[in-house]
Amino acid sequence: MEERQTSPEQSTEQQNTSTNNEATTKPQLSSDELQSRLQQLEQESSSYKDQYLRTAADLKNFKRRTEEERGTLIRNATAGLIMKILPILDDFDLAMQHVPAEVAETSWFNGLQGMQRKLQMVLEGEGVKPIEALGEPFNPHFHDAVMHEDAGPEQAGKVTADLRRGYMLHDRVLRPSMVKVGQE
């Protein structure tokens, strides 16, 4: 017996030719089988595309919901702080209404008025607006009726006095106005 020695290049060639022979000896798929396979792959592709689109939409909705929740949290935190500041503004309003005439002409009083305006401007910058109640028809969403007074028919059902100013934060009532309502 004689052993043949093959070089590494020859063995690679033999492997390549045997692989080529195997590829050519595989049975060919029929046209119907190819159509069936193509249809199956198209369905898989469509399924993956639908899954991708749903996932992308879910992600978009998640981001939107997260932003909305974040905004709500910030607004609620802001509302809590503003509710603590409103009594200070009420005190300023009361003090300004009951100032003696000799004090009203001093620079000290003008400084207090300036501080009150700055506080109001800061609150307005955060979206806080006072509720205008005087002369408006009574609305339980915006007004809290604490008193009634006899009034003529033109004032019946209308706010005749604003006892404590109410405030809105953007589009929601932060604190309703305490009012006196006219009745016949």
The count of other CB atoms within 10 Å of the CB of residue 174 is 19
Domain that holds residue 103: 55-126
102-139 in b/e form (b: 16+ CB < 10 A) is eeeeeeebeebeeebeeeeeebeeebbeebebeeeebe
* CA R_g for the chain: 40
On whether both 122 and 59 belong to a single domain, the answer is yes
pLDDT at 22: 52
The verdict on 156 and 107 lying in the same domain is no
Count of domains forming the chain:
2
* One domain, residues 149 and 174: yes
Is residue 134 within 8 A of residue 118, CB to CB? The reply is no
pLDDT at 75: 79
Asked if residue 11 is part of any domain, the answer here is no
pTM exceeds 0.75 for this model? no
Q: Using one digit for the tens of pLDDT, what is the confidence trace for 51-85?
A: 999 999 999 999 999 999 998 888 778 888 999 99
In a structure prediction context, what are the per-residue pLDDT tens digits for the chain, which is 184 residues long? 455 555 555 555 555 555 555 555 556 778 888 889 999 999 999 999 999 999 999 999 999 999 999 988 887 788 889 999 999 999 988 888 888 888 888 998 999 899 999 999 999 998 999 999 999 999 999 999 999 998 888 888 899 999 999 999 988 999 999 999 998 8
Which tens digit of pLDDT belongs to each residue from 159-173? Answer: 999 999 999 998 899
Q: What pLDDT, on a 0 to 100 scale, did the predictor assign at position 68?
A: 92
- Considering the domain architecture, whether residues 82 and 60 belong to the same structural domain is answered as yes
Separation between Cα atoms, residue 50 and residue 55, nearest integer Å: 8
Is residue 157 within 8 A of residue 137, CB to CB? The reply is yes
Judge if 73 and 108 occupy the same domain.
yes
